[in-house]
Structure 1
Amino acid sequence: MKVFCGIDWASDHHDVAMVDHEGTLLGRARIDDDATGLQQPLDLLTAHGDTADTPIPMAIETSHGLLVARLRETGRPIYAINPMAAARYRERHAVARKKSDHLDAMVLANILRTDRALHRQLPADSELVQAIAVLARAQQDAVWNRIQAANKLRSHLREYFPGFLAAFAHTREGLCLPLARTVLTAAPTPAQAAKLTRAQLRSLVKKAGRKRGIDAEADRLREAFRTPQMRHLPQVEQAMGLRTLALLRQLAATCESVEELTAAAVKSFDTHPDAEIITSFPGLGSLTGARVLAEIGDDRSCFTDAKGLKAFAGAAPVTRASGRSLSVMARRIKNQRLAAAGYLWAFSALSSPGARAHYDRRREAGERHTAAQRNLFNRLLGCLHHCLTKRVHHNETTAFPPPQFVTLAAAA
């Protein structure tokens, strides 16, 4: 008799339900979110025939947390069901739209009973790649937080100190530049910045880590800060300067976090066996490679073909056909982190002759930049899946054969 288990996850407790192949409830329990509570579902599974050779599959609405981590260590097949999908299944069991934790656990168990083949099992990733995933995602979050903090500070400076923004408008880092943060900390208002002497500016430039062109940079900043501009009343300006210092501390903290997490993610990624294969691709360095590996994992049975990986990353389009209506659109439901890493990867890969030629052909066919870049990402993902499966490095000629070779092969 086949048995299926569903777990309704919550912050402090979890509901467990077990059903047989006909949907009959075999057992239920409410467990606490601690080590003692974890043993209860394991005992319940064992009582219903769970063994190492025939493990009972389990469904839960999350793929993170201590409960999932401990269950994955036992080697049981675990399926992370999207809460939106589980809500649709609930309507099959409760027309009146009633809801309870026990009902949700039963719904999850019945999902495996009826549609197990339609859902993906959590991959059996190694401990190293799980650690890389934690670091790479934290680094990506820190970068997004840094952008948000810099935008808040930029918006505030635009209200009372536009001259400072103009002084650093030519730099790529903008307000995240160490020199910009150092100078703004010393002079957060236009009045204080205008009083900075040449010697003080030289000291600030050195403090920020500049090694060359110190005098020229000090003179440039002195001239920029003394350029006449519109000003608020003195007390208002002083208050806005205090708010700037508060926003600046937040930006400095995020910048420091980005640097620390970047170093840790790169260090862990470089020790992984797949690092050499991933970084052999154009546009993939250690940091972007760590982000890609964090999302696809190192369990190669997770994606049996490149098509599944492309859909997971959002690179493959979605076709909608009904009668005579046919439309091909970009995929919206995807792994957002992998898609963000893919955008950077495809853009950096344009330095490769083959990737650039592929991109140019898509542009000449009438596609916009985003669509052509997404198509390039789709192509690169297929190559990455092949290289990781076959354990070979990326080959430019094989991945992007010259047009004349493609024409001859088609004619043959």
Structure 2
Amino acid sequence: MKSANTPTHEQTLCLPEEPPGDVTAGLDWARDDHAVSVVDHRGREIDRCMIEHTAEGLRALLTFLARNNATEVAIERPDGPVIDTLLDAGITVVVISPNQVKNIRRRYGSSGNKDDRFDAFVLADTLRTDRARLRPLVPDRDDTIALRRACRARKDLIAHRIATGNQLRAHLRNALPATIGLFKDIDSDIALSFLERFDTQDKLDWLTPTRLGTWLRKQGYSGRTSSTVLHTKILAAPRGPEGDFATALATITASHVAVLRTLQAQTRTLEKHIDQQLTTHPDAHIFTSLPRSGRVRAARLLAEIGDCRSRFPTPEALICLAGAAPSTRQSGRIRVVGFRWSCDKQLRDAVTDFAADSIKANPWAAHLYQQARTRGHDHPHAVRILARAWLTIIWHCWQDHVPYNPSKHRALQPYLTPENKAA
């Protein structure tokens, strides 16, 4: 793999030493309206206003900035209609995270009060004073942003499906205990089909091993558990209500099942859409080459890392944003190394998900993970250690626009068998 200093890497974008026009602006984002502040080169607020979150309000924002010759705006979030409006107008946008703003606010007073107009001033003044540590926002390509939103939407649907499955399980403990644990997953196709057909204790009582076996064959059941074993589980479980009360509870069961069916269908639709988006993305070959990355996992990694190479000038920048590096605090002889809470949670989830599964296909990854466990780290910590190592490799591949090649991964070679090396 190429060195991090090869000329193929894009240079980091920096702000000019002095703001154009000697003014900087800050915008505090809210749902319905936004506070805007403009400060001069001495840190004095020279103008402020409130704009509504409407098309007319965004046009007024551009007019306000032009009137004050402000071409740089600090803001707390990196996307949305306001960001699009500013970038389309050629205005430099600098993102300062809410955590940073919370800490910087202490410069201006110890009360800790929160006020949108004051935060807009803090953002503008921070853009004036901390220019060397800030970077202008360079947005990802539209196809990368669309892929990111599709991946996050799929993740949200899965979270809803898990929550609905838990609600269904809690309901069945009282309505139909025999169906809990009958199949591996309560939201699997076979489990939902079973609940649609046998939604009361009376219908379960009708079953025999032969009748259950016949029904399972019609459903194309591929599980290894025989109908006799499944029927024994049904008989051994506590009985549910019968009669009219059971029928009333079955209506609730049907509602949960219908929601799960819908979530499953929409998740599959999104996965097909994600697969199509990934196929046409120019960086797809980098992330699909990683071990056990698959399609959806590769898409998540690509989407969360993005396509703007200048955003991460070093592997450490990517590692820290992903929360894979510990946070170190030192004062005198006291040194504390702890979990990094401030990071991109979506990126960390995507990277740790990949790293945790990579140990099944990559012996180098499995060795690093096992070493961490041997040192006494729990599973999440060991996965983060492995994720940190993987991010260095991913960064080099990403910066050089090349796929991951196991034969060029030197650290992997000692763990490969002769057969794998030959392949």
**Residues 217 and 64 from structure 1, CA distance in 2 versus in 1: closer, same or farther, beyond 3 angstroms?**
farther
Summarize the alignment of residues 258-297 of structure 1 with structure 2, pairs less than 5 Å apart. 258-297=267-306
Which string of whole-angstrom CA distances, capped at 9 and with x for unpartnered residues, describes residues 88-128 of structure 1? 33343355555543222212211211224444543321011
Gaps of 5+ in 2: 1-20, 416-423
Alignment RMSD (CA, Å): 2.8
**Count of aligned residue pairs for this structure pair:** 393
Is 1:384 matched with 2:394? yes
CA distance in 2, matches of 1:247, 1:255: 12
- Structure-1 residue corresponding to 2:419: none
Q: In 2, are the aligned partners of 1:19 and 1:25 still within 8 Å (CA)?
A: yes
Note the C-alpha offset of 1:79: 2.6
Find 1:57's aligned residue among 65, 69, 72: 72
Note the C-alpha offset of 1:177: 0.8
Summarize the alignment of residues 291-310 of structure 1 with structure 2, pairs less than 5 Å apart. 291-310=300-319
CA distance in 1, matches of 2:95, 2:278: 26
Report the secondary structure of 1:59's partner residue.
strand
Return the TM-score normalized by structure 2.
Answer: 0.83
Q: In 2, are the aligned partners of 1:277 and 1:393 still within 8 Å (CA)?
A: yes
CA distance in 2, matches of 1:318, 1:8: 28
Greater alpha carbon shift after TM alignment, 263-272 vs 94-103: 94-103
- Structure-2 residue corresponding to 1:179: 190
CA distance in 1, matches of 2:387, 2:111: 45
Which string of whole-angstrom CA distances, capped at 9 and with x for unpartnered residues, describes residues 162-207 of structure 1? 3212321xx3xx012111111102222222222257668745763x
- Structure-1 residue corresponding to 2:201: 190
Counterpart residue type for residue 169 of structure 2: R
Q: In 2, are the aligned partners of 1:320 and 1:327 still within 8 Å (CA)?
A: yes
Note the C-alpha offset of 1:42: 1.5
- Structure-2 residue corresponding to 1:410: none
**Residues 357 and 233 from structure 1, CA distance in 2 versus in 1: closer, same or farther, beyond 3 angstroms?**
same
- Structure-2 residue corresponding to 1:229: 238
**Residues 275 and 404 from structure 1, CA distance in 2 versus in 1: closer, same or farther, beyond 3 angstroms?**
closer
**Residues 205 and 177 from structure 1, CA distance in 2 versus in 1: closer, same or farther, beyond 3 angstroms?**
farther
Find 2:142's aligned residue among 111, 114, 127: 127
CA distance in 2, matches of 1:374, 1:400: 21
CA distance in 2, matches of 1:137, 1:228: 39
CA distance in 1, matches of 2:23, 2:119: 17
Summarize the alignment of residues 205-216 of structure 1 with structure 2, pairs less than 5 Å apart. 206=218, 208=219, 210=220
Find 1:36's aligned residue among 56, 61, 71: 56
- Structure-1 residue corresponding to 2:8: none
Greater alpha carbon shift after TM alignment, 138-147 vs 56-65: 56-65
Greater alpha carbon shift after TM alignment, 124-133 vs 371-380: 371-380
Summarize the alignment of residues 21-170 of structure 1 with structure 2, pairs less than 5 Å apart. 21-49=41-69, 56-94=71-109, 99-168=114-183
Note the C-alpha offset of 1:245: 2.0
Note the C-alpha offset of 1:251: 2.0
**Residues 297 and 306 from structure 1, CA distance in 2 versus in 1: closer, same or farther, beyond 3 angstroms?**
same
Greater alpha carbon shift after TM alignment, 174-183 vs 59-68: 59-68
Is 1:394 matched with 2:386? no
Q: In 1, are the aligned partners of 2:363 and 2:412 still within 8 Å (CA)?
A: no
CA distance in 1, matches of 2:331, 2:340: 18
CA distance in 1, matches of 2:366, 2:36: 53
Greater alpha carbon shift after TM alignment, 35-44 vs 306-315: 35-44
Counterpart residue type for residue 34 of structure 1: T
Greater alpha carbon shift after TM alignment, 154-163 vs 34-43: 154-163
Greater alpha carbon shift after TM alignment, 355-364 vs 284-293: 355-364
Report the secondary structure of 2:186's partner residue.
helix
Q: In 1, are the aligned partners of 2:320 and 2:343 still within 8 Å (CA)?
A: yes
CA distance in 2, matches of 1:155, 1:280: 41
Q: In 1, are the aligned partners of 2:174 and 2:240 still within 8 Å (CA)?
A: no
- Structure-2 residue corresponding to 1:53: none
CA distance in 2, matches of 1:335, 1:355: 23
Q: In 1, are the aligned partners of 2:407 and 2:413 still within 8 Å (CA)?
A: no
CA distance in 2, matches of 1:205, 1:243: 27
Gaps of 5+ in 1: 51-55, 406-412
Note the C-alpha offset of 1:47: 2.8
Which string of whole-angstrom CA distances, capped at 9 and with x for unpartnered residues, describes residues 355-384 of structure 1? 223323333444333322211111111101
**Residues 119 and 187 from structure 1, CA distance in 2 versus in 1: closer, same or farther, beyond 3 angstroms?**
farther
CA distance in 1, matches of 2:237, 2:126: 68
CA distance in 1, matches of 2:145, 2:86: 15
Counterpart residue type for residue 28 of structure 2: D
Greater alpha carbon shift after TM alignment, 61-70 vs 126-135: 61-70
